[in-house]
Amino acid sequence: MNDFDDLAERVERFAVARDWGQFHTPRNLALALTGEVGELAAELQWKSATEIAAGIDGDLRARLADEVADVLIYLIRFSQVCGIDPTAEAHAKVTRNEARYPVELSKNNTAKYTELEHP
């Protein structure tokens, strides 16, 4: 089994072992996802691009990695309770985006980029 599928199984076993399915409704998990993305945003809120580039090799990366982990865990759990396969859905979306943003039109093109509401 690959790492991602194994992760999804561990996330589900964790919840089942603690009978936390009762709390893991789609709406509760959407609120939890909001909370974690908020923590990720807060790590970056007062930092300049230069400070982020400097910090990314140290403590900042560790804190961001912790938030990324939380977001991913809740996204997997949200998907499980909704019957969604997140990897398959993202593959399908990338395929649609490849058609919507042809390389020759979208390349290095911020005006187009902004207009097209890119992925």
Q: Contact between 107 and its own copies (CB under 8 A)?
A: yes
Sign for the pseudo-dihedral over CA of 73, 78, 84, 86: negative
Q: How far is the CB of 90 from its own copies (least distance, A)?
A: 4
Sign for the pseudo-dihedral over CA of 83, 84, 88, 93: positive
Enumerate residues 45-64 that contact its own copies by CB under 8 A: 45-47, 49, 51-52, 56, 61, 64
Q: How far is the CB of 24 from its own copies (least distance, A)?
A: 9
Enumerate residues 12-31 that contact its own copies by CB under 8 A: 14, 17-20, 22-23, 25-28, 30-31
Give the burial class of 29: count Cβ atoms within 10 A of its Cβ; 0-12 exposed, 13-18 middle, 19 or more buried.
buried
- Measured CA to CA, the distance from residue 69 to residue 17 in angstroms comes to 20
Binding residues for its own copies, rule CB under 8 A, total 79
- Measured CA to CA, the distance from residue 12 to residue 57 in angstroms comes to 32
Q: How far is the CB of 102 from its own copies (least distance, A)?
A: 9
Q: How far is the CB of 61 from its own copies (least distance, A)?
A: 6
